[in-house]
Amino acid sequence: MSIVVPAVLPTSREDLLEKLALFARISSVSRIQIDVVDGRFVTPASWPYTAPAELQAMVKRGEMLPRLDCLEYEIDLMSLDAEEAAASWLALGATRLTFHAETATDLPQQLAATRKKYGSVVSFGLALNIASDLALIEPCLDDIEYVQFMGIAKIGRQGQPFDRRVFEKVHVFRNRHPDIPVQVDGGVSLPSARQLIALGVTNLVVGSGILKAKNPSEAVAAFENLQGPYGV
């Protein structure tokens, strides 16, 4: 499977569908991450928080995310109402939910409640900010399928500089938990990707590194060519 997970931070419904269509045309892409920012946990707010009625209208019409026959969708919920927000995306066909550890006052309880609601059809992951301690997610590892380390200091915005502190976080976590899939999201470039793969990262979440490339397909291929023994 592809090591690259393209990410889109939508400014509108049209922007979302346009970028999903672009990623869907890249044959090696099997999973896409949609970033959802509520404007409270981090700013600025992204779509659909800027136009919530549009997302609900899509759900009511029975719309589905494109190419569900060959694409898996992961929703990165940078929002304080993550459990509630997840419902609409699942109705559209998403099958992976990434919660940010810092959004919950009782993280184990939030995961347990959400798994009770959606656990039969969803894979759960936990994202951890660069400045947060690994201890925040350690009690929850039995309840998730993957961990996402944020590679930037200011999350919720594409194009931010890569923060090298994530290397040490990945190194420590991988030594403690060699069997848990790890992905890094934010600021990933080809040089940093090489080091991340060497540390055992299983997936690279890449947004602007693909979208700003002259040839997005070639950009994805360049990352895929770095794939090492930990690739999935």
Q: Which of 23, 92, 30 is nearest to 62 (CA)?
A: 92
**Domain annotation covers residue 220:** yes
Burial 30-48 (b: 16+ CB within 10 A, else e): ebbbbbbbbeebbeebbbb
**Domain annotation covers residue 52:** yes
Q: Residue 147 has which token pair?
A: 């961990």
Question: What is the number of structural domains in the chain?
Answer: 1
**Domain annotation covers residue 42:** yes
**Reported pTM:** 0.95
**Domain annotation covers residue 174:** yes
**Domain annotation covers residue 232:** no
Distance CA 63, CA 136 (A): 36
pLDDT in tens, the chain (232 residues): 689 999 999 999 999 999 999 999 999 999 999 999 999 999 999 999 999 999 999 999 999 999 999 999 999 999 999 999 999 999 999 999 999 999 998 999 988 888 888 877 799 999 999 999 999 999 999 999 999 999 999 999 888 999 999 999 999 999 999 999 999 999 999 999 999 999 999 999 999 999 999 999 999 999 999 974 444 3
What domain range includes position 204? 4-224
Residue 139, domain CATH: 3.20.20.70
Q: Which of 48, 49, 76 is nearest to 63 (CA)?
A: 48
Distance CA 31, CA 75 (A): 11
Do the beta carbons of residue 193 and residue 167 sit within 8 Å?
Answer: no
**Domain annotation covers residue 230:** no
Q: Which of 229, 91, 76 is nearest to 146 (CA)?
A: 76
**Domain annotation covers residue 229:** no
